Structure 1
């Protein structure tokens, strides 16, 4: 963890990591398994679901701390709107939007927590090595 970077860079890097995940998985489930998808794909998918939950678990705090920064610079009267809008009205609207986004993240957390509970019990089949070879030939 590099705590010397600008805060926005950390969020950009997280977004880039999600983009990388999207690119790796866009062509289907092959990204989740190696030679033997019967054994490896279910737990790998479960790991991805767990990682999504962790991401959404951390996002509300990031939103809260960003909102606190907005409030701080507003209190310092350090905001000027390039479009000429009243800064206090714009900040009020922005903070409402952040609150709404946070609420949506909490709802997403609830659904992802449930998905983690289900996916944590997913595993591949126990097959003998010769059965795995047959499965590869049929894939």
Structure 2
């Protein structure tokens, strides 16, 4: 964790990691099969992905809150001007309302993801004797 870089950089890096995940999984679920390309490895790997999505959404509301606090702080210091000439107070109010609405949506997403985690954390692949024999023969 690099606590010395610009705060927006951390969020951009997180977004880039999600983009990487999207690219890795876009062509199908085979990416979850693991290094030996066994479908039985996919269910717990998918469960791990669901759990990671939950953790992401668990942390996002705090990031939104702290960003909103920064907006309020710079507004109180009269340090904001609008490049498009819009009224600053009105623009800041709209911005803060949008952040509050986004936070509420994230909390709702958390609720749904928590339900998904409860199910996916119990997913496992079938144990297939042939698969184990093939793995032993290849070892």
TM-score between both structures, scaled by the size of structure 2: 0.92
1:91 aligns with 2:92: yes
1:117 aligns with 2:118: yes
2:38 aligns with: 37
Distance in 2 (alpha carbons) for counterparts of 1:124 and 1:37:
9
Distance in 1 (alpha carbons) for counterparts of 2:131 and 2:103:
48
Give the superposed CA RMSD.
Answer: 1.3
1:73 aligns with: 74
1:24 aligns with 2:41: no
Equivalent pair of 2:30/2:37 in contact (CA under 8 Å): no
Distance in 2 (alpha carbons) for counterparts of 1:49 and 1:17:
15
Distance in 2 (alpha carbons) for counterparts of 1:80 and 1:99:
22
Post-superposition Cα deviations, 1:54-112, rounded to whole Å, max 9, x if no partner, equal: 00000000000000000000000000000101111100000000000000000000000
Equivalent pair of 2:32/2:45 in contact (CA under 8 Å): yes
Task: State the secondary structure of the residue aligned to 2:118.
Answer: helix
Equivalent pair of 2:64/2:103 in contact (CA under 8 Å): yes
Residues 72 and 60 of structure 1, relative CA distance in 2, 3 Å threshold: same
Residues 10 and 72 of structure 1, relative CA distance in 2, 3 Å threshold: same
Structure 2: runs of 5+ lacking an equivalent: 135-139
Equivalent pair of 1:38/1:125 in contact (CA under 8 Å): no
Equivalent pair of 1:42/1:122 in contact (CA under 8 Å): yes
Query: What is the count of residue pairs matched by the alignment?
Result: 133
**How far apart are 1:127 and its partner, in Å?**
1.7
Equivalent pair of 1:36/1:132 in contact (CA under 8 Å): no
